Structure 1
Amino acid sequence: MTKHTVAVIGAGKMGELVISGLLRSGWPADRLLVTTRRAARAADLSERYGVSAVDNATAAAKADILAVAVKPQDAAALFDEIGARIPAGKLVVSLCAGLTTEFFAVRLPEGTPVVRVMTNTPALVDQAMTAISAGPHATAEHLDIAEEMFKPLGATIRVPEAQQDAVTALSGSGPAYFYLLVEAMIDAGVLLGLPRQTAHELIVQTAIGSAVMLRDSGEHPVKLREAVTSPAGTTIAAIRELENHGVRAALLTALEAARNRARELAGEMR
């Protein structure tokens, strides 16, 4: 696998996650290229990771795999610049939220394989959830390559591309929902008389433990919740209030809105 040279095009926050994850997995720094808009950013990445900073045209020519991590609104201009220079056999891995493989197909030589990827920010601690989808010309081997690239960042799953907007809503944006919930629970702890730091420690460890139980027990979340919910106890009193305030319905509506926004972004970029 490490025979491939990877160019991360648009090495912002998400692109840097890919670079650091590949290096942690043992990928040679001399087989990693990066492109950035700003020279200072390029110099910083080169110094920090020992990778080569190049321009987009050089990356397109030298790399075997192009990991495209630019903002969705910048992708069209990027491929106007380099699309025609990319050989049809070169693998393009897109991390651009909302952009379909069709978006790339019309801007690349016929037959160019494209794999669409949606990961999330827990990649910073090697706990990402990354969903991978094949474009029309991507083979099982291309999916294997993309999967190997992202395994160092956490877990991976393969999904049909038609499900990627739902993935964006659920796991791509998902960390923000958990942070909001934890923030609210910490505020509740303060309201109940706990010091903020104590409330923070209580809730963060509870969140970690609950997530590990969900992952490792194999139990349905309903069963795990019921195990904490005693008849006429404190937990059921709290759950009743959550249901009365429509928390479940709010989550359903929120994730549907995120999915719809992902679709809108794709439509705007055609």
Structure 2
Amino acid sequence: MDKIKVGFIGVGHMGSAIVEGMSKSDYFKNLEIFGFDHYPQGMESLNKNGQIITPVNDLNDLIKQADVIFLAIKPQGLADFAKEIQPSQALLKDKTFISMLAGTDVATLSQYIKAKNIIRIMPNVNASIGKSTIAVNYLNDSTNYDDLLSSFGTIFKIPESQFDVFTGVSGSGPAIVFLMIDSLANAAVYQGMNKKTATDLVAAMVEASGEYTIEKLKGTDLNARNLVDIVSSPGGTTVKAIMSLERNKFEASMNEAIDVMMPKKN
């Protein structure tokens, strides 16, 4: 079986995270990965323990070599990118582009990139450990790339109308969870535990709680609030903690955090 030639245009934080996650998956044996970036430090870091991505110095050379191309540039750079790839126009009809440009729908991408197929995704930083949550929208309703995308996480096939909220919850969500972990750890430090132990404890608890949530809600009509009730004994300490958070507008703060990330409606 010939390897799939995968190109990355932009190998910054997100591009690097995806390549790293792919390299740790069983599917990696099916891939040959190339990368183009004006700042090659990301690829140098990826290759420090053995080559997993081949740097390409010319953008149009990468397009020539790759069958599937991940586009990880700034959204405001799309028009300039389209000009840069003019020499490769004849090749695009045989290429699949996978875009992770925030706020840029498939219709807009199609105006600038005349490719055979365009797939829109939104991953997050957890791609580096193969556990990203990935929004996916296929222009041609193709499932040919499910295995490729699943090599760095779990895919959620959603309409484009839901991409903005997915980006807020999943794209920025890890930072909110990291802040929550640090806040809980600091609370434990205040009570006498050292910071390293507290952070490890909270991170392990959050990981297990996520798995518990998925397992317990699978195939049911329950939601996470039902799990809060399971943990909360009447008159117990957990109830007191939940009531304290509610008095301090915990849920309202979460709603506002997501709301400020959403595009403003005219």
> Which category of TM-score, normalised to the shorter sequence, fits these structures?
0.7 to 0.9
Deviation at 1:43, TM superposition (A): 5.2
Q: How do residues 68-217 of structure 1 correspond to structure 2 at under 5 angstroms?
A: 68-83=71-86, 85-86=88-89, 87-109=92-114, 112-134=116-138, 138-141=139-142, 143-145=143-145, 147-217=146-216
Higher helix share: 1
TM-score by length of 2: 0.86
> 1:30 and 1:125, CA in 2 relative to 1: closer, same or farther beyond 3 A?
closer
Query: Are 1:231 and 2:239 an aligned pair?
Result: no
Distance 1:178 1:251 in 2: 11
Equivalent position SS for 1:260: coil
Quick one: which of 51, 54, 73 aligns to 2:53?
Answer: 51
Unaligned runs of 5+ in 1: 265-270
Report percent identity of matched pairs: 25
> 1:193 and 1:43, CA in 2 relative to 1: closer, same or farther beyond 3 A?
closer
Deviation at 1:71, TM superposition (A): 2.5
Aligned AA for 2:150? K
Q: Which moved more, 1:230-239 or 1:1-10?
A: 1-10
Q: Which runs of 4+ in 1 moved over 6 A?
A: none
Alpha-carbon contact 2:132-2:152 (below 8 Å) kept: yes
Deviation at 1:19, TM superposition (A): 2.3
> 1:62 and 1:84, CA in 2 relative to 1: closer, same or farther beyond 3 A?
same
> 1:205 and 1:39, CA in 2 relative to 1: closer, same or farther beyond 3 A?
closer
Deviations 1:217-239 (A, max 9, x none): 22521221111111111111111
Aligned AA for 2:60? A
Aligned AA for 2:39? R
Alpha-carbon contact 1:65-1:93 (below 8 Å) kept: yes
Distance 2:106 2:124 in 1: 19
Equivalent position SS for 1:5: strand
The number of equivalent residue pairs is 257
Partner residue in 1 for 2:38: 37
Distance 2:41 2:198 in 1: 40
Deviation at 1:213, TM superposition (A): 0.6
Deviations 1:167-199 (A, max 9, x none): 100111110110111111111112223222332
Alpha-carbon contact 2:35-2:43 (below 8 Å) kept: yes
Deviation at 1:35, TM superposition (A): 0.4
Aligned AA for 1:120? N
Distance 1:202 1:40 in 2: 33
Alpha-carbon contact 2:3-2:30 (below 8 Å) kept: no
Distance 1:31 1:233 in 2: 56
Partner residue in 1 for 2:22: 22
Q: Which moved more, 1:162-171 or 1:49-58?
A: 49-58
Distance 1:157 1:101 in 2: 17
Equivalent position SS for 2:144: helix
Deviations 1:199-254 (A, max 9, x none): 22332222122111101122521221111111111111111111111110111111
Alpha-carbon contact 1:84-1:108 (below 8 Å) kept: no
TM-score by length of 1: 0.85
Equivalent position SS for 2:69: strand
Deviations 1:26-56 (A, max 9, x none): 4358732110103555555566424322211
Unaligned runs of 5+ in 2: none
Deviations 1:124-151 (A, max 9, x none): 22211111012xxx3233x431x22221
Distance 2:7 2:21 in 1: 14
Aligned AA for 2:107? E
